[in-house]
Structure 1
Amino acid sequence: MLVREAKLKDGTAEQYQALDEAIRTGQFVRNKCLRLWMDTRGCTRAKMQGLCKVLAKEFPFAKQLNSMARQAHADRAWQAVNRFYKNCREGVKPVGYPKFKKHSRSVEYKTSGWTLSDDARTLTFTDGFAAGTFSLYCDNVAREDILRSKINRVRVVRRADGYYAQFCLDVERQEPGNYTGNAIGIDLGLTFFIKDQNDNAVAYPQYLRKSEQRLKRLQRRLSRKHQKGKKQSANYHKNRKQLGRAHLKVQRQRKDWAIKLARALVASHDVVAYEDLQVRNLVRNHHLAKSISDAAWSQFCDFLDYYGKVWGKAVVAVNPAFTSQDCHHCGRRVKKSLSTRTHECICGAKLCRDTNAAINILKRGLELLGISISTEGHSETTCILQGTPGEINLSATSGQPFVVRVV
């Protein structure tokens, strides 16, 4: 599935208000389906779908929402329940018990309730809320993909700077990759965002830290205008939207950074090995939580996996346990605190702890692909693939057509 996004513009205040009512109605349907699951033993997805018809008869505003849109929000409730069951079976903590939505920001339509113009420049909503026609603002590549692909769903998302339409297309993105025969191991960190086995480092711009003063100033201004127990003024909502746009800018900067860096790494390497960090557990350290969240490791790794699938490259997530402690040269475990930034072993190896971790990560990644790696007889920061000179075809192990050259 490919998702293309376009901004909804040239609408009146009444049209945007109709979209807000549709979003609230979708939230209402989802919460009702979740309540049915809580009150009914053995509730299934079919029973949630059947509740949508009952809600349409009982509540006039629920009938205004397109029938397939009501079913889509029942599916959302079932997905939350299904994820809860899966976490319970696999022993994941916390299990993620389904919760009621209070501030939903999206409504999802399937194949009805909307009409797209022939040139994909306008989108019209035809359900009972009658939001009307909006202009679609997007780049030409996205518009061409929308025109030539089958649209499975249309999702309306409300953000701080306006409303967006997301088109879920029935197509898998596949592009020919540029195969270089290079392999890289990546160690994620805070001093440097990434460091590879050759001691190449990339620093993180720290977008949240740079915008922190402005965000604090906007938050103080918003707090001064808040009136407890009373209806908030127009200036309060104006400042609230301004603060939301400032946070949205930081979010977009962070995402843009992750996309560009992940794209460059996968484009220049055939094998990318990174450590599969459990960020949810790492942010429990209150001294580093803000820096870890600002780095957005999970988002970066998600884009590594995405571009690996698009270009047919091997992107491997390895267990990060003891990658900084184990010596890459002799395998001896050298205990060190987080403040110790240099790895020193009695075998004579001495290098940055992040570089040592990157070499170990690359070793584990190549082992998962059935390739051994050694640094014997070479510099401590250079990894040499072992095997017969030539090319090793990894399509049998990874399912993707690429090769890695062996030195």
Structure 2
Amino acid sequence: MLVLEFKAYGKAFQFVAVNEAIRITQFIRNKSLRLWMDGKAKSWLEMSRNCAVLAKEFDFANRLNSMARQASAERAWAAITRFYENCQKKTLKKKGFPKFQKNCRSVEYKTSGWKLAQDRKSITFTDKCGIGKLKLKGTRTLLFYSLDQVKRVRLVKRADGVYVQFSISVDRSESIPATGNAIGLDVGLKEFYTDSNGETAINPRFLRTGELRLKKAQKRLSKRVKGSNNRRKARVVLGKRHLKISRQRKDHAVKLARCVITSNDVVAYEDLRVRNMVKNHCLAKSINDASWYQFRIWLEYFGKVFGKITIAVNPAYTSLECSSCGTVVKKTLSTRTHACQCGCVLDRDHNAARNILSRGLSTTGHVGTFGRDPINVWGVETATEVGANLSQQVTTRNQESLRLEAGECQYDK
């Protein structure tokens, strides 16, 4: 599934109609959730049927397209399903009981209620909300895809305007020449990552850079009278500041992940639990600013697109173990140099990256974050040396299948 996003341009009354459609979406979702809480809906089918009942009971709900009403109920059912799945896992973390939505920012249409122009530069919404025709501007084009491939159309409201998203049913895959390289990545706060070759990528620290402008915008907002137009304008300015930082992080993660994947055939990285790491209030802001998890998501996505191998490695003791002899050298967080009794002296992150690559090459499979499906790593044998050539360590698929049958492989759990 590919999602293309375009900026929507129209008149003021059209965006008022978009806000009305979003409020109807929120109303139907909350009504569907209340139906489940009262025990009157125990399946998605019963919740979907209730959408027609709400349309007859409330005139404003009838303005929204029928499939858009069903999509609103789907959101409620998705939250309920996620809550049930978390309960079955029997973990100590919060289960995420579904809550009523207070600030919905999007409305989703399925295959009806909208019509694209022949040049694909405008879209017309044909339901009774009165949105009408909106012009589309973006860096991508919809001319390469047929209307049958467009499965969902979503109107998303952000601080700088309204955007139209198209969910297109297409399998994206690209083929590039093999490089014969394998690399291990150790992410950090001083440098964004250090690879097993000793190369580093700078940490841009977008939040720290724009923190002064954020503080000024927040200060202006706090001084404005609640309910006034000046406060509304100050809130929009603050939202744009946060939106810019979010886009900077995403752009950095996408470009860096694509560069790493296209330059290597095997990429091993740490299987970090960022949610637990940010509980340390001293480092929480810096960890969130680095956006490690987003970088990992794009690594796995581009690995699937380009057919490359991505391996999530258990990060335990990767910074303490010596990459040459395997001895555990205890060090504090402030100690940035790894010095072992065997004579190995390396930067702390470089040593960890070598250990990550060694562990990654010694595993035969892992479960990726993208899609939550198991991804089999083909043709990877136990690493003999971190600095060795990939062709000396990687065998063919036939040899790998024989090892699997013999039960000699170790699986990363």
Alpha-carbon distance between aligned partners in 2 of 1:242 and 1:146, rounded to the nearest angstrom: 36
Deviations 1:347-384 (A, max 9, x none): 33221121111111111211223322233xxxxxx521
Q: CA RMSD in A?
A: 2.0
Partner of 1:343: 338
Greater mean deviation of Cα atoms: 17-26 or 314-323: 314-323
Partner of 2:281: 286
Q: Which of 351, 359, 369 matches 2:354? A: 359
Alpha-carbon distance between aligned partners in 2 of 1:354 and 1:82, rounded to the nearest angstrom: 41
Shift of 1:396: 8.2
Question: Given the superposition, is the C-alpha separation of residues 111 and 396 from structure 1 closer, same or farther in structure 2, using an over 3 Å criterion?
Answer: farther
For the pair 1:319 / 2:314, whether they are aligned, the reply is yes
Report the residue type matching 2:106 in the other structure: S
Partner of 2:189: 190
Partner of 2:396: 393
Q: Which of 251, 259, 280 matches 1:256? A: 251
Partner of 1:275: 270
Partner of 2:219: 220
Partner of 2:121: 121
Which residues of 2 match residues 159-238 of structure 1 at below 5 A? 159-227=158-226, 232-238=227-233
Deviations 1:256-313 (A, max 9, x none): 1111100100010011111111111111111111111111111111110111111111
Q: Which of 382, 388, 401 matches 1:384? A: 388
Shift of 1:54: 1.6
For the pair 1:265 / 2:268, whether they are aligned, the reply is no
Alpha-carbon distance between aligned partners in 2 of 1:179 and 1:14, rounded to the nearest angstrom: 54
Alpha-carbon distance between aligned partners in 1 of 2:64 and 2:399, rounded to the nearest angstrom: 49
Alpha-carbon distance between aligned partners in 2 of 1:291 and 1:395, rounded to the nearest angstrom: 45
Partner of 1:379: none
Shift of 1:385: 4.8
Matched positions, count: 385
Partner of 2:105: 105
Deviations 1:139-178 (A, max 9, x none): 2x43334457610000110011111110000101111123
Partner of 1:373: 383
Specify every segment of 5 or more residues in structure 1 that has no aligned partner in the other structure, as ranges: 376-381, 399-407
Alpha-carbon distance between aligned partners in 2 of 1:66 and 1:149, rounded to the nearest angstrom: 19
Shift of 1:107: 0.5
Question: Given the superposition, is the C-alpha separation of residues 203 and 342 from structure 1 closer, same or farther in structure 2, using an over 3 Å criterion?
Answer: same
Contact 2:320/2:328 (8 A) holds in 1: yes
Contact 2:41/2:47 (8 A) holds in 1: no
Contact 2:320/2:329 (8 A) holds in 1: yes
Alpha-carbon distance between aligned partners in 2 of 1:387 and 1:265, rounded to the nearest angstrom: 19
TM-score by structure 1 length? 0.90
Deviations 1:227-260 (A, max 9, x none): 3xxxx22111111111111111111111111111
Question: Given the superposition, is the C-alpha separation of residues 178 and 142 from structure 1 closer, same or farther in structure 2, using an over 3 Å criterion?
Answer: farther
Contact 1:374/1:386 (8 A) holds in 2: no
Report the residue type matching 1:183 in the other structure: A
TM-score by structure 2 length? 0.89
Alpha-carbon distance between aligned partners in 1 of 2:135 and 2:291, rounded to the nearest angstrom: 33
Question: Given the superposition, is the C-alpha separation of residues 153 and 42 from structure 1 closer, same or farther in structure 2, using an over 3 Å criterion?
Answer: closer
Question: Given the superposition, is the C-alpha separation of residues 267 and 162 from structure 1 closer, same or farther in structure 2, using an over 3 Å criterion?
Answer: same
Contact 2:337/2:346 (8 A) holds in 1: yes
Question: Given the superposition, is the C-alpha separation of residues 128 and 387 from structure 1 closer, same or farther in structure 2, using an over 3 Å criterion?
Answer: closer
Shift of 1:326: 1.8
Which residues of 2 match residues 37-48 of structure 1 at below 5 A? 37-40=36-39, 43-48=42-47
Partner of 1:65: 64
Deviations 1:295-350 (A, max 9, x none): 11111111101111111111111111221122222222222221121222233322
Alpha-carbon distance between aligned partners in 1 of 2:391 and 2:203, rounded to the nearest angstrom: 36
Alpha-carbon distance between aligned partners in 1 of 2:333 and 2:95, rounded to the nearest angstrom: 30
Shift of 1:199: 1.2
